[in-house]
Chains A and B, each alone.
Chain A
Amino acid sequence: MPIFTSEDKRMSLVNAASIVQDGMTIAIGGGLSWREPMALLRELIRQGRHNLHVVGTAHGVDVDLLCGAGAINVVEESYIGFEQDFGMAPNFRRACESGRVQVRDTCCHTIIQQLRAAEFGVPFLPVRSVQGTDFLRLHPEYKTMTCPFTGLPLVLVPALAPDVAIIHAQYGDAQGNLKILPPLVADLFFIRASRHVIASVEQLLPTDELRAMEPNVPYFWVESVVEVPYGAHPTSCYPFYAYDRAHLAEYYQAAQAGQDTFASEYLARYVFGPATHDEYLSRIGGQAKREELESWKDGEDAWRALFTAPEGAIT
């Protein structure tokens, strides 16, 4: 893996996102509705990236948005959906059912083993599971063998080194050291297995302040760092903000209404419309919205209230 030793990795959102090229395999940090690098993904869409192959575990609005914008053609994740909140992912479903996106579903432990093989510098790792399931049919690259030590059947999964890991961290410094707070999901595996790492952070801090937080990603894996407050919106990024349930309901309704409505009601308004991230922040509701999403800190009642309204469409 390349080593990035520059003292100053600070970049604009535009330049950081341009490291991703058409046809690359990308790993998106975070998971479900938590700490996904949404500002970087919106920038990828604005730059017109397409034919991307996404790999990872359980995701939601991030991959659904990329599907709705026509940016990806292979999804190799373990789950794409909105759980109990809104149910199935409309753009992802449409893309898979129309054949625009190739279904390459994977499973959490399988993909972690593949990333660990890349991290360890070995060509594959074995798993005992997966036998008897139809994932073997979906993935001709998996091989089976009889273990030379135990005589038991094993599935071998090849090393997987994504071209770019796209990460949103809470804190970082100019050199690219990062502090990611848990749940870490698969971020550290993506970072150690990928050829390039681009990161947005809620706050850029002086190195001394970051050191006191015990960073968990060393700078030499990170190629670029961008300070983007609310860079994970509409997913959550504690301790800064909870996820924006009202925005996700709006997203879901636009996506559910079809490709054209999604393009005119959502992509135009929130992805292509805002010229800057600051303008995006004002479109989502400005200061009042930010105060609301940060009110989880005010105690259990305030936190719970963020999950009660509005009622979204449930499939």
Chain B
Amino acid sequence: MNEEPIIYATLPEVMIFQVARTIQDGEVVFHGYGSPVPTLAMLLAKRAHAPHMVHIEGATYGINPEPPFLPPTSNDWSLEQGSVMAIGISELFDIAARGDMGRMFLSGVQVDCHGNLNVTAIGDPDSPRVKLPGSGGGCNLSGDVQHVTIWTTGHRAPTNKAGKRQFRFVQHIDFISSIGHISRDGISRQALGLRGGGPDWVVTELGVFDFDPVTHVLRLRALYPDTTVQDVLDNTEFEPVIAPEVSIVPLPAPEHVALIRRFDPLRTHQREFKSTDLSRCFDL
């Protein structure tokens, strides 16, 4: 397969490329466990445009690993291969707490217009309708890390059996597991004394977003070749800002796609996607 010319990229691969583009060279970057899309984005960025990025692996905390494959669980020795060493859990969180972590990646089952995320519970957390797995380190890191990239593969809102749309980008968030730009009480990050700048990019299967600099509301910046502004509006419960010029996302080069396929021979990242998105392909 490595010998064959690469002539297309899948939607997941294009999304991984968009997440990789949010990484700057020379910064300390960390992804959480259970996050194959950011893991591959980091592996790609370091070998593409950010060779001096410090890659800290999600659960092993290995530094600059060269994994032979991505397993479907994060605390595995395979993800430590190629690292000179690993740091410990307190060292990792201390780097962020003192303001030295450049970027991290967070997701949510509910995302509100200011980038607050819920991965804790749907309904009342004291008697949840759905208990979600939990935020890991996301609550602390959302406050401490300099920049956060939000990603989700579930922007498209399906209709449930009762005919009700199930939005991921919601008007009302049930629980704030990690903080975006403005709290539930309307307080800014600065007034909360938080160190980091909050989420600056949001990458979904429908488009790429940032936040309006004045209102801190989600703002559409780019679409995929096969999505429209209307798709975004139809699948977002609140009203997002639409940038004056919405572009089409840049596609990865064949060598970028080759790197993604080399690092993920088990296609672990595809487990994050719906089958309809797996079949979206773009000619390179």
Q: Which residues of A contact B (CB under 8 A)?
A: 30-34, 57-58, 60, 77-85, 88-89, 92-93, 96-97, 99, 103, 105, 107-110, 112, 116, 127-135, 137-138, 152-154, 182-186, 188-189, 236, 238-239, 242-243, 296, 300, 303-304, 307-308, 314
Q: Which residue of A lies closest to B122 (CB)?
A: A97
Chain B residue numbers with a CB within 8 Å of A103 are 120-121, 125-126, 128, 131
Chain B nearest CB from A9 CB (Å) reads: 26
A-B contact count (CB 8 A): 202
Docked-complex contact A130 and B75, CB < 8 angstroms: no
Chain B nearest CB from A303 CB (Å) reads: 6
Q: Which residue of B lies closest to A60 (CB)?
A: B73
Docked-complex contact A78 and B137, CB < 8 angstroms: yes
The segment from B157-165, B190-198, B230-238 found at the interface with A is B190-198
List B77-97 residues whose CB lies under 8 Å from chain A.
77-78, 80, 86, 88-90, 93, 96-97
Do A78 and B135 contact each other (CB < 8 Å), given the known contacts A34-B75, A189-B90, A307-B71? yes
Docked-complex contact A34 and B76, CB < 8 angstroms: yes
Q: Which residues of B contact A (CB under 8 A)?
A: 33-34, 36, 59-61, 68-69, 71-78, 80, 86, 88-90, 93, 96-97, 120-121, 125-144, 175-179, 183-184, 187, 189, 192-195, 265-266, 268, 271-272
Complex-state Cα separation, A135 to B141, whole angstroms: 14
Complex-state Cα separation, A116 to B94, whole angstroms: 12
Docked-complex contact A132 and B176, CB < 8 angstroms: yes
Docked-complex contact B73 and A33, CB < 8 angstroms: yes
Docked-complex contact A133 and B134, CB < 8 angstroms: no
Do A153 and B75 contact each other (CB < 8 Å), given the known contacts A93-B130, A108-B136, A129-B143? no
Q: A109-B141, A128-B97, A137-B125 are in contact. List 10 more A-B contacts (CB 8 A).
A: A30-B75, A32-B59, A58-B59, A84-B73, A96-B131, A132-B176, A132-B192, A134-B177, A303-B68, A307-B71
Chain B residue numbers with a CB within 8 Å of A238 are 77
Chain B nearest CB from A304 CB (Å) reads: 5
Do A307 and B72 contact each other (CB < 8 Å), given the known contacts A93-B130, A105-B134, A131-B179? yes
Chain A residue numbers with a CB within 8 Å of B194 are 128-129, 131-132
Chain B nearest CB from A80 CB (Å) reads: 6
Chain B residue numbers with a CB within 8 Å of A243 are 73, 76
Chain A nearest CB from B210 CB (Å) reads: 20
Docked-complex contact A81 and B131, CB < 8 angstroms: no
Do A105 and B69 contact each other (CB < 8 Å), given the known contacts A84-B36, A134-B120, A183-B86? no
Q: Which residue of B lies closest to A107 (CB)?
A: B139
Complex-state Cα separation, A79 to B141, whole angstroms: 15
Chain B residue numbers with a CB within 8 Å of A83 are 33-34, 72-74
Q: List 17 A-B contacts (CB under 8 A).
A: A78-B137, A93-B131, A99-B127, A103-B121, A105-B135, A107-B136, A107-B139, A109-B96, A109-B137, A128-B144, A131-B194, A132-B176, A132-B194, A133-B177, A134-B176, A135-B177, A243-B76
Complex-state Cα separation, A134 to B69, whole angstroms: 37
Q: Which residue of B lies closest to A89 (CB)?
A: B133
- Give the one of A108, A138, A242 with max B CB within 10 A: A108
Chain A residue numbers with a CB within 8 Å of B138 are 107
Docked-complex contact A108 and B89, CB < 8 angstroms: yes
Complex-state Cα separation, A239 to B139, whole angstroms: 33
Chain B residue numbers with a CB within 8 Å of A81 are 34, 133-134
Q: Which residue of A lies closest to B175 (CB)?
A: A134
Docked-complex contact B69 and A307, CB < 8 angstroms: yes
Docked-complex contact B74 and A109, CB < 8 angstroms: no
Docked-complex contact B75 and A185, CB < 8 angstroms: yes
Q: Which residue of A lies closest to B77 (CB)?
A: A238
